[in-house]
Amino acid sequence: MLFAHGFGCDQSMWRFVAPAFEASYQVICFDYIGHGRTSMDAYNRERYASLHGYAQDVLDICHALDLHDVILVGHSVSGMIGALAAINEPDRFSRLVMVSPSPRYMNDEGYHGGFEREDIEELLDTMDGNFFGWATSTAPAIMANSERPELGNELGLTFCHTDLEVALQFAKVVFYGDNRKDLPKLQTPSLIIQTLEDIIAPVEVGDYMANHTPNSTLHVIDATGHCPHMSAPNETIQSIEQYLRQLN
């Protein structure tokens, strides 16, 4: 099982979920470039101008470790990064688990992504002008679960530890991106995990993905916020385990 973190995060955020699968699977966590403790030596703005650069990172890890029959568990944007990797090399992956994913964050005609264009532009302007202020003020809303403020605080601190150049480019790639046309290309069986309330990826997004992705299963878990692997790890684990049992 290969665990891929979301924007501005790092592999430590899987610490509540990944260990539950160590008895049955080889568990691998990693950080994208500019996140966690990675070096910036290999950063290339041209490579990472789209999600395909990050998808190639996933494939490069699979090649380097000679991984096969991979179950990729991706949070947020890594759901689509994992999908692109599986589309490119379908024989490499057996299952794809997408936690709070979205193929398009911006509303469009007949599509509810959660944000209007002006919302995205304002968000990116705020990030560009004061990324650290944006990170610390917005993270609690993204996390939700206000009764546990330590979770939102941790998310904000992790955002702040991300390399600023990487974060700003990655944010534009994520929030201006549109991967809806890629969904029908994904043939790898996939689980889509959504929460009841998520300001980044509303339930409508999960419905859209399930309706446009072959071999997909949507599971709305009893949780809130965009990071259920941190705020509701037991529910997240149970959803993944149930899905994998049904397929075996």
Catalytic: which of 226, 229, 231, 239?
A: 226
User: Is-catalytic flag, 161?
Assistant: no
User: Is-catalytic flag, 63?
Assistant: no
State the Cα–Cα distance between residues 76 and 174, nearest whole angstrom.
10
Token digits of residue 27? 């568990």
Catalytic: which of 76, 78, 190, 231?
A: 76
pLDDT digits (tens, 9 = 90+) for 111-142: 999 999 999 999 999 999 999 999 999 999 99
State the Cα–Cα distance between residues 89 and 183, nearest whole angstrom.
15
Tell the residue number behind the tokens 């939700």, with chain if given.
Answer: 144
User: Is-catalytic flag, 100?
Assistant: no
Catalytic: which of 78, 102, 198, 216?
A: 198
* pTM of the predicted protein model: 0.96
pLDDT digits (tens, 9 = 90+) for 160-177: 999 999 999 999 999 999
**74 and 82 in contact (C-beta within 8 Å)?**
yes
* Residue 42 confidence (pLDDT): 81
**14 and 3 in contact (C-beta within 8 Å)?**
yes
Which CATH code fits 2-247? 3.40.50.1820
> Is residue 247 over pLDDT 80?
no
